[in-house]
Amino acid sequence: MVHLVLIRHGQSEWNSQNKFTGWVDIDLSDKGKKEAKTAGELIINENLKFDYYFSSFQKRAINTLKLIQETMGIKNLKFEEAWQLNERHYGALTGLNKEEMKKKLGEKKIHEFRRSWSLKPENLDKNNVYHPLNIDKYKNIPKRNIPDTESLEDTYNRVIPYFESKILKLLKLEKRILVAAHGNSIRALCKYLFKISNENISNLEIPTGNPLVIYFDNSLKVIKARYLDEARAKKLLFNN
């Protein structure tokens, strides 16, 4: 049975500080490193094997994947890094504390910014130190592809073409895939794979460091999906 495992990176340093992170290249917290290692142990216990590995361009996802591979006893295994799998860009909210912004803008508005399909925050000033244009990691990405802000819809529109061109064709060849990415890039993938509506996608939450295993039949129809750590699982909007 063909399987795809999606894992949101372990807790990052800015997750622990409750900040909007987006495209800022923040590393894992100590807790996040432990979550990544635990994810590797869960994968071992499930006896899952992989042919290809992918991550976003951001080190919290890259290091999550490396820690999983290390825990699995895999050394020096190459994987593809893709900016298209990056977290959603939070625009002018980047670097700000979520609780403080709830007090300023209202809890409903912040929830809409975080979970809605098409709403996006105001643009982040291009001179801001947190703008991707000012982060060395992204210097080789064409400037036309670097956002000032994004909605989930915008994120979907860069994640899914990459998934279809790079990952889906491998699944068609019955290759087993592990993808380490982010809350919103994984929400985009789940929307696509589980056929979640624009309205319902706001109800989907992705926990950190918990492998989501998706099984496909021979026609690549999703037949089953579940989190390996049931105690930390979030509700999946998928009915097979």
Of 76, 77, 56, the C-alpha closest to 9 is 56
Task: Look at the alpha carbons of 18, 181, 87, 80 in this order and tell me if their dihedral is positive or negative.
Answer: positive
Q: Find where tokens 């994640």 sit.
A: 159
Catalytic residue among 87, 89, 131, 182: 87
Q: Distance (Å, rounded) from C-alpha 137 to C-alpha 146?
A: 12
- The tokens of 113 are what? 């910014």
The single residue of 9, 89, 131, 182 carrying the catalytic annotation is 9
Q: Active site includes 3?
A: no
What are the b/e assignments for 7-23, b being 16+ CB within 10 Å?
Answer: bbbbbbbbbeeebbbbb
Cα–Cα distance, 216 to 186 (Å, whole number): 17
Letter for the amino acid at 34? K
89 is catalytic: no
In sequence order, which residues have a C-beta less than 8 Å from that of residue 37 and are 6 or more positions away? Answer: 67, 68, 70, 71
Strand partners, 53: 178
Active site amino acids: 9, 87
